[in-house]
Amino acid sequence: MISINPIQAIKDNPLAAMPIKFRRATQSEAPSVLTDIYEEDSNISIWQRELSAELKAAVKDFLTSNQKFQTSMTVTPESALSSVRQALGTQSSPLLSENIAELVDMFCFLFGLKRAGLRLSILDRAMCPKFHVDKVPCRLITTYEGIATEWLHHQDVNREKLGAGSKGLADDQSGLFENSDDIQQLNCGDVALLKGERWEGNENAGLVHRSPVLLSGERRLILTLDFSS
């Protein structure tokens, strides 16, 4: 009979010692779905938001006027509107800055935050092309223009293949997921809360996601909000 040392087995494969966690996605056309992120078994909540025709037009005008753009700042619900307006420039439509300020207000209210870290970028390539998890409690992400973030259901991920575990192989070759049908994708306009690794009790269950590959000439306008101390 072969004797197995359980301590050594755990050292060889530390994930084997961790309890299996179930995580699910929640989504709705109602913004109240974002509160579902507080449920222990939820690691992504998606508000299936449809941008108004006026906001879409404002976004397209902004992209036309700005080939490249990136800004990051710390804002409060009270300062967000003026700070974003200043960053976007006086020639931009107020609709976009107002919409961003509304999301800052929602994000801070939901999590009881006094301020948030804001990043708004025009991207012409995948910023984070490999599937990964964020070392944050929770992140809000929305795409105002272009194709949106890709993600995987928790149960479809072999987490041993994340990061260095992929051994340099592409996501579709590393064994991270079984087939391309496992890949989920947000829609442009959706507002999603992605629970990260630093949410208490969510260790080794942070949402696995990546930036989508962009074709030549394609661009995205993407907003993220993070906790800020």
Domains detected in the chain: 23-152+185-227 (2.60.120)
Q: Does position 129 have pLDDT exceeding 90, yes or no?
A: no
Average pLDDT over the chain reads: 90
| DSSP character at residue 11 | H
**Structure-token match 């931009």, residue found:** 92
**CA–CA separation, 66 vs 207, rounded Å?**
32
- Tell me the C-alpha to C-alpha distance, in Å, between residue 210 and each of 126, 129, 150, 151, 213: 8, 6, 5, 6, 9
Range 74-82 contact pairs with CB under 8 angstroms and sequence separation of 24 or more: 74/115, 74/116, 74/117, 74/118, 74/228, 75/104, 75/115, 75/116, 75/118, 76/108, 76/114, 76/115, 76/116, 77/101, 77/104, 77/105, 77/108, 77/109, 80/104, 80/105, 80/118
Question: Quick check: helix, strand or coil at residue 182?
Answer: helix
Token reading at 23: 């995580």
What is the reported pLDDT for 11? 46
Positive or negative, the Cα torsion across 137, 19, 184, 110?
Answer: negative
- pTM of the predicted protein model: 0.88
What is the reported pLDDT for 5? 46
Question: Quick check: helix, strand or coil at residue 125?
Answer: coil
Q: Does position 222 have pLDDT exceeding 60, yes or no?
A: yes
CB atoms near residue 154 (< 10 Å): 20
What is the reported pLDDT for 21? 83
What is the reported pLDDT for 96? 97
Contact of 33 with 27, CB cutoff 8 Å: yes
Amino acid identity at 63: L
Q: How far is CA 98 from the centre of its chain?
A: 21
Q: Does position 51 have pLDDT exceeding 50, yes or no?
A: yes
Q: How far is CA 93 from the centre of its chain?
A: 26
**Structure-token match 């990546």, residue found:** 210
What is the reported pLDDT for 19? 55
Q: Does position 126 have pLDDT exceeding 80, yes or no?
A: no
Closest CA to 103 of 148, 137, 139: 139
What is the reported pLDDT for 16? 45
Residues 7-34 as b/e (b if ≥16 CB within 10 A, e otherwise) read eeeeeeeeeeeeeeeebebbeeeeeebb
